[in-house]
């Protein structure tokens, strides 16, 4: 069948509308805005130790403000991280051990101390660094039953759009 007058204009306007919504969705997508990269080089004993093990330090002294509401009352709090490191595409939060407050390693204590950090910063794990001993331990969580939905890529939307447009043209 032949296209009627105005069919191409309507198809073009629909295409523009779909592209507009895809771009709008893409801009809203969360691409780890929680972390802010450091503008200056990160130096020190801990960064040198981690870089020797293949980590790349991308940020120092991260603070994530949190507002907690209980009824009509609001409380302010923060999550602190000393450094942020990456290796093999995974992001790790670096927490330095405190001499005055040693950490006991048990499931409940590690969960209470670090799980909020991992979930809030969307990290693969925690690097718990003991600078006086020159060592670190990797703490990661496997929460069975919790799955993040996979992100649909922009290409899947474009392919769907093109197939729909081709079907529309072939039906006519």
Residues 100-133 have pLDDT tens digits of 887 888 889 998 989 988 888 888 899 999 988 8
User: How confident is the model over 138-154, as a mean pLDDT?
Assistant: 74
User: How confident is the model over 136-147, as a mean pLDDT?
Assistant: 82
Considering only 25-34, 55-64, 145-154, which range has the smallest mean pLDDT?
A: 25-34
Residues 60-82 have pLDDT tens digits of 888 888 899 999 999 999 989 99
- pLDDT grade for 146, boundaries at 50, 70 and 90: low
Between CA 97 and CA 128 the distance in angstroms is: 7
Measured CA distances, 55 to 69, 84, 93, 122, 160 (Å): 37, 10, 11, 17, 39
- pLDDT grade for 159, boundaries at 50, 70 and 90: confident
- Residue 119's Cβ-side half-sphere holds a number of Cα atoms within 13 Å equal to 12
User: How confident is the model over 150-156, as a mean pLDDT?
Assistant: 68
Query: How many Cβ atoms are within 10 Å of 94's Cβ, its own excluded?
Result: 23
Domains of the chain, each with CATH number or no CATH: 34-144 (3.40.1350)
Give the pLDDT of residue 120.
Answer: 84
Per residue, what are the HEC states of the chain? CCCCCCHHHHHHHHHHHHHHHHHHHHHHCCCCCCCCCCCCCCCCHHHHHHHHCCCEEEEEEEEEEEEEEECCEEEEEEEEEEEEEEECCEEEEEEECCCCCCCCCCHHHHHHHHHHHHHHHCCCEEEEEECCCCEEEEECCCCCCCCCCCCCCHHHHHHHHHHHHHHHHHHC
Residue 1 has pLDDT above 60, yes or no: no
Residue 155 has pLDDT above 80, yes or no: no
Between CA 57 and CA 86 the distance in angstroms is: 6
The CA radius of gyration of the chain, in Å to the nearest whole number, is 24
Does the pTM exceed 0.75? no
- pLDDT grade for 92, boundaries at 50, 70 and 90: very high
Residue 33 has pLDDT above 50, yes or no: no
Q: Which residue has the higher pLDDT, 114 or 34?
A: 114
The rounded mean pLDDT for the chain is 82
């Amino acid at each position: 069948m032949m296209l009627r007058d105005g069919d191409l204009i309507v198809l073009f306007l629909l295409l523009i509308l779909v592209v507009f919504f895809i771009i709008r969705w893409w801009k809203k997508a969360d691409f780890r805005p929680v972390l802010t990269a450091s503008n200056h080089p990160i130096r020190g004993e801990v960064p040198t130790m981690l870089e020797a093990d293949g980590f790349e330090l991308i940020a120092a002294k991260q603070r994530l403000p949190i507002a907690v509401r209980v009824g009509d009352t609001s409380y302010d709090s923060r999550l602190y991280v000393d450094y942020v490191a990456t290796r093999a595409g995974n992001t790790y939060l670096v927490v330095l051990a405190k001499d005055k407050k040693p950490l006991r390693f048990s499931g409940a204590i590690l969960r209470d101390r670090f799980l909020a950090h991992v979930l809030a910063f969307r990290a693969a794990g925690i690097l718990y660094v003991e600078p006086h001993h020159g060592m670190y331990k990797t703490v990661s969580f496997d929460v069975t039953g919790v799955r993040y939905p996979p992100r649909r890529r922009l290409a899947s939307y474009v392919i769907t759009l093109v197939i729909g447009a081709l079907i529309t043209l072939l039906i006519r």
